[in-house]
Amino acid sequence: MVRLDGTQALVTGASKGIGRGIAEGLATEGATVGVNYPPQEDTAHADDVVETIEASGGTARAFEADVSDAADVESMLDAFDDAFGTIDVLVNNAGILTQSPLAEMPVEMWDETIAVDLRGTFLPTRFALPKMLESGGGSIINVASQLGILGGEELVHYSAAKGGVIAMTRALAREVSPTVRVNAVAPGPVQTELLDDISEEWREAKAAQLPMDRLGEVEDIVPTVVFLASEESSYYTGQTLSPDGGDAMH
Q: Are the C-beta atoms of 167 and 178 separated by less than 8 Å?
A: no
Longest CA–CA span in the chain (Å) reads 54
* Structural domains for the chain: 8-236 (3.40.50.720)
- The pLDDT tens digits for 130-141 are 999 999 999 999
Burial class (CB in 10 A: 0-12, 13-18, 19+), 178: exposed
Distance CA 193, CA 40 (A): 16
pLDDT value for 194: 81
1: pLDDT strictly greater than 70: no
| Catalytic residue, candidates 37, 158, 235, 236 | 158
- The pLDDT tens digits for 38-78 are 999 999 999 999 999 999 999 999 999 999 999 999 999 99
* Beta-sheet pairing, 180-185 with 240-241: parallel
Rounded (10°) CA dihedral 146, 87, 62, 242? 10
What letter would DSSP give residue 161?
H
At 196, is the secondary structure helix, strand, or coil?
helix
Rounded (to 5) percent helix, strand, coil in the chain:
50, 15, 35
Distances (CA, A) of 237 to 40, 41, 126, 244: 34, 33, 18, 20
Report cis status (omega within 30 of 0) of the bond before 223: no
- The pLDDT tens digits for 219-242 are 999 999 999 999 999 999 999 999
Active site residue 158: yes
pTM of the model: 0.96
Distance CA 69, CA 127 (A): 12
Query: Band of the pLDDT at 115, cuts 50, 70, 90?
Result: very high
